[in-house]
Chains A and B, each alone.
Chain A
Amino acid sequence: MSRDDNATTQRNMIQAINSAMDVAMERDDNVCVFGEDVGYYGGVFRATAGLQEKYGKTRSFDTPINECGIIGVAVGMAAYGMRPVAEIQFADYIYPGLDQLVSEAARLRYRSAGEFTAPLTIRTPFGGGIFGGQTHSQSPESIFTHICGVKTVIPSTPYDAKGLLIAAIEDPDPVVFFEPKRIYNGPFDGHYDTPVEPWSKHPASDVPDGHYVIPLGKANVLREGSAVTMLCYGTMVHVTMAAVEQLGIDAEVIDLRSLLPLDIETIEESIRKTGRCVVVHEATRTSGFGAELAALVQERCFYHLEAPIQRVTGYDTPYPHSLEWAYFPGPVRLRLAIERVMEDVSGEV
């Protein structure tokens, strides 16, 4: 079946992710998708809906509730020559499969000197703000950036989600693809008590039907500005954009899109221009990816900095069910950080 590659359809993030797998499976019959509830039912978030019907159950199937098995089997399939796309139902559940990812998939190319490789993709919804409690809300992305041999990708819009996921599936290395589930249905500005605008009202929901890729390692400058650089990804991209607009500040907002490889050039260029930097993520603070970003900016742009780098993050606690909106880095936490970073050296705003 051929497609009109210019045609686009309005899609929310789930539909864009579904379309990415559909396109990848159509182009390469080595691509297969599996995970808990992924096959017949199409996934608890419906990301794989219709794929089993279209491609058959040997290419889209359900698995036992066993993350070690899901990822371990994916390593074996990838070593065979297939392109497995495995779903871990929630990022919080990835830990039982962690060894297969970090000790096996990540190092297979290196330890076999390129004879065996593991070109697999692990998709997993992450992040909070859906009353998921401490077992359905975590953001473990920094763990994977600390592992040598794994790529870590996080989209923030339907358009990016499709282009990045296709790039991840076609990538020769193992990729962990974190899906910010709070924004599956629409962008979220951090005001939890206002209704969510659906993606259909956002330009990034206009998603091409056919094949396209967004290269891994290219950040997106969402908003140009000269006063401060905001580094963010996933759900926090939208919270950051909203906060910046609300404060009326001339901020440059960079959506990192992939944490590893990281687009250091875009970051450096921006900091040299603005002289100030705020890093924003929902994950807990200590040893979070914000620490790496702050270190990189400090190492490379110290003489351009006019204020200490600020971090806006979740707290170093498990995600609290009933207090999740106090935990979530929302507009007020962002405003306070921006105010701190805009203070001049004398301490005056």
Chain B
Amino acid sequence: MASDTERRNLPPLELYVPEPKFRPGDEADFSDIQVPPAGETRRPDTAADHGEMPDLAYGLVRVLDDEGKAVGPWDPKLDPETLRKMLRAMALTRAYDQRMFRAQRQGKTSFYMKCTGEEAVAIAATFALDRDDMCFPSYRQQGILIARDWSLVDMMNQVYSNKKDRLMGRQLPIMYSTKQGSFFSISGNLATQYPQAVGWAMASAAKGDTRIAATWTGEGSSAEGDFHSACIFAAVYQAPVIMNVVNNQWAISSFSGFAGGDETTFAARAVGYGIAGLRVDGNDALAVYAATQWAAERARTNKGPTLIEHFTYRAEGHSTSDDPSQYRSADEAAEWPLGDPIARLKNHLIALGEWDEDRQAEMDGECAEQVKTAAKQAEKNGILGHGLHQPLETMFEQVFEEMPWHLKEQMQDMLDENEAANNVAKTR
């Protein structure tokens, strides 16, 4: 055998560790990113076999061109009213993020995560789904709730963990959950929602329901085993599910190369699993809408799952606990070749003659006011750290449907402790 002799003359092996293209102090230059012209990518029939479309996993579905015109076969041809609603939901989400970010800085809550630059990913997709399709989001899809006209006060109550928080102050801020809003409880353990969405979709199919499931994860979390488990199950059972990978380039400080993004696209993973895969301009609301609509139609007609990679950019830090200036070039967001999703949709409406800068400014003002009013209302219900908002007993409730003896005993211990501390906390 070749290795039977001692290897003294062989060159030593080297471990390759990927590096992002730019670090702090570098000038960002994205000229190497292939951005195909809008309208160029073909649109197969929704009934087409996944095997006929591997090219779409390596391309980039784009609808809005540089002049703000909608072009090509993916143009969803939405009426101006829908476009304006979508624009408003995106603007409202940005205003909401700004307000809540500031609230965290003011010490009103522990933590916040903005979705700035990624608003189209959640909102345009939600517009293409039905209201009762079950969404299994990650933590940057607050736009789903806002697109579904969910109460901002209710969302803020959760962020503040106050007495009106529907989750009883048990979840980190931004980990919303509402069954009525078809918005599944967010987990901090990443990508766990992926197989759950597939299971929900399988159940819907098994019961002969018409609702489908959609799920989102970051490109970083797509390295988790759960992502791959979900792909296997989705493919094997042809589950009516849309699996979105939000490739915003950064998983906290790790660039997409650490999730395998240097070697191939995230959409291309679909090819290996036998799933339809689309790579989409995630800053193009019409492209996101069109791709979701296409995938939803496949799912609803028993053509199986679709994996959609949304190629986008995380314009802000990972969270309020993160300082992106420590690990990436300062001008990346400004240099991002796909622009800002809100500006692009706004320009489209202007190009259609259905919108103008004054109306945009007016709408932005209204959104800021709406958010401000909601925040004041939510703050009346309390903010995090200002006392214990929930009765102490709630800590032990809903671990199980019925409280077993050991929890009852521990609850009594806690109540005794509270009494010994002169009943400082609220109890039932």
Interface residues of A, Cβ cutoff 8 Å to B:
32, 58-59, 63-64, 66, 68-69, 71-82, 84, 96, 99-100, 103-104, 108-117, 148-149, 151, 172-173, 217, 260-262, 264
Find B405's partner among A81, A82, A173, A261 (CB 8 Å cutoff): A261
A264 contacts B195, C-beta separation under 8 Å:
no
23 sample A-B contacts, Cβ–Cβ < 8 Å, listed by A number: A58-B206, A63-B233, A63-B236, A64-B232, A69-B229, A69-B233, A72-B230, A73-B195, A73-B202, A76-B201, A76-B213, A78-B199, A84-B199, A100-B192, A104-B189, A110-B398, A110-B399, A111-B171, A113-B166, A113-B170, A148-B399, A151-B400, A172-B401
Provide the residues of chain A in CB contact with B405, threshold 8 Å.
261, 264
Shortest CB distance A115–B (Å):
4
Find A68's partner among B171, B195, B213 (CB 8 Å cutoff): B195
Provide the residues of chain B in CB contact with A68, threshold 8 Å.
195, 225-226, 229
Provide the residues of chain A in CB contact with B189, threshold 8 Å.
99, 103-104
How many angstroms between the C-alpha atoms of A59 and B202 in the bound complex? Answer: 11
Find A116's partner among B185, B192, B194 (CB 8 Å cutoff): B185
B196 at the interface (CB under 8 A from A): yes
Provide the residues of chain A in CB contact with B428, threshold 8 Å.
none
B187 at the interface (CB under 8 A from A): yes
Provide the residues of chain A in CB contact with B207, threshold 8 Å.
80, 82
Find A73's partner among B184, B196, B225 (CB 8 Å cutoff): B196
Provide the residues of chain A in CB contact with B168, threshold 8 Å.
113
Using CB atoms, name the residue of chain A closest to B136: A76
Cβ < 8 Å to A, chain B residues 149-196:
166-168, 170-171, 175, 177-179, 184-185, 187, 189, 192, 194-196
Provide the residues of chain A in CB contact with B226, threshold 8 Å.
68, 72, 99-100
B195 contacts A112, C-beta separation under 8 Å:
no
B11 at the interface (CB under 8 A from A): no
Provide the residues of chain B in CB contact with A109, threshold 8 Å.
398-401
Shortest CB distance B411–A (Å):
13
- Please provide the 9 A-B residue pairs with the shortest distance between their CB atoms, ordered closest to farther: A76-B199, A72-B195, A73-B199, A69-B229, A80-B203, A76-B196, A76-B200, A112-B185, A172-B401
The number of residue pairs between A and B whose CB atoms lie closer than 8 Å in the complex comes to: 142
B61 at the interface (CB under 8 A from A): no
Provide the residues of chain B in CB contact with A82, threshold 8 Å.
203, 206-207
B206 contacts A75, C-beta separation under 8 Å:
no
How many angstroms between the C-alpha atoms of A100 and B194 in the bound complex? Answer: 11
Provide the residues of chain A in CB contact with B175, threshold 8 Å.
111
Using CB atoms, name the residue of chain A closest to B241: A76
How many angstroms between the C-alpha atoms of A108 and B199 in the bound complex? Answer: 15
| Additional pairs, 19, CB under 8 Å, beyond known A80-B204, A113-B167 | A58-B206, A69-B195, A72-B198, A72-B229, A72-B233, A73-B199, A73-B233, A76-B201, A76-B202, A79-B199, A81-B203, A99-B189, A99-B192, A100-B195, A103-B187, A108-B185, A149-B400, A151-B400, A264-B405
How many angstroms between the C-alpha atoms of A231 and B228 in the bound complex? Answer: 42
How many angstroms between the C-alpha atoms of A78 and B184 in the bound complex? Answer: 13
B206 contacts A66, C-beta separation under 8 Å:
no
B192 contacts A80, C-beta separation under 8 Å:
no
Provide the residues of chain B in CB contact with A96, threshold 8 Å.
225
B197 at the interface (CB under 8 A from A): yes
Shortest CB distance A287–B (Å):
18
Find B187's partner among A59, A73, A81, A104 (CB 8 Å cutoff): A104
Count of B residues near A, CB < 8 Å? 44
B386 at the interface (CB under 8 A from A): no
Provide the residues of chain A in CB contact with B206, threshold 8 Å.
32, 58-59, 77, 82
Provide the residues of chain A in CB contact with B233, threshold 8 Å.
63-64, 66, 69, 72-73
B7 at the interface (CB under 8 A from A): no
B225 contacts A75, C-beta separation under 8 Å:
no
A149 contacts B399, C-beta separation under 8 Å:
yes
Provide the residues of chain B in CB contact with A172, threshold 8 Å.
400-401
Provide the residues of chain B in CB contact with A100, threshold 8 Å.
192, 195-196, 226
Shortest CB distance A152–B (Å):
12
A66 contacts B229, C-beta separation under 8 Å:
yes
How many angstroms between the C-alpha atoms of A112 and B187 in the bound complex? Answer: 10
B167 contacts A73, C-beta separation under 8 Å:
no
Shortest CB distance B322–A (Å):
23
With a 10 A CB-CB cut-off, give which of A111, A172, A262 has the most chain B CB atoms.
Answer: A111
How many angstroms between the C-alpha atoms of A113 and B184 in the bound complex? Answer: 12
Provide the residues of chain A in CB contact with B232, threshold 8 Å.
64, 66, 69
B404 at the interface (CB under 8 A from A): yes
B406 at the interface (CB under 8 A from A): yes
Using CB atoms, name the residue of chain B closest to A171: B401
Provide the residues of chain A in CB contact with B187, threshold 8 Å.
103-104, 111
Provide the residues of chain B in CB contact with A116, threshold 8 Å.
177, 179, 184-185
Shortest CB distance B120–A (Å):
26
Shortest CB distance B297–A (Å):
21
Shortest CB distance A89–B (Å):
16
Provide the residues of chain A in CB contact with B204, threshold 8 Å.
80
B401 contacts A115, C-beta separation under 8 Å:
no
Provide the residues of chain B in CB contact with A110, threshold 8 Å.
170, 398-399
Provide the residues of chain B in CB contact with A75, threshold 8 Å.
195-196, 199
How many angstroms between the C-alpha atoms of A109 and B192 in the bound complex? Answer: 16
Decide yes or no: A74 and B199 within 8 Å by CB, A112-B185, A149-B399 being known contacts.
yes
Shortest CB distance A147–B (Å):
10
Shortest CB distance A70–B (Å):
8
Provide the residues of chain A in CB contact with B400, threshold 8 Å.
109, 149, 151, 172-173
Using CB atoms, name the residue of chain A closest to B233: A69
B192 contacts A103, C-beta separation under 8 Å:
yes
Shortest CB distance B82–A (Å):
29
How many angstroms between the C-alpha atoms of A59 and B213 in the bound complex? Answer: 20
Using CB atoms, name the residue of chain B closest to A173: B400
Shortest CB distance A56–B (Å):
10
Provide the residues of chain A in CB contact with B203, threshold 8 Å.
76-77, 80-82
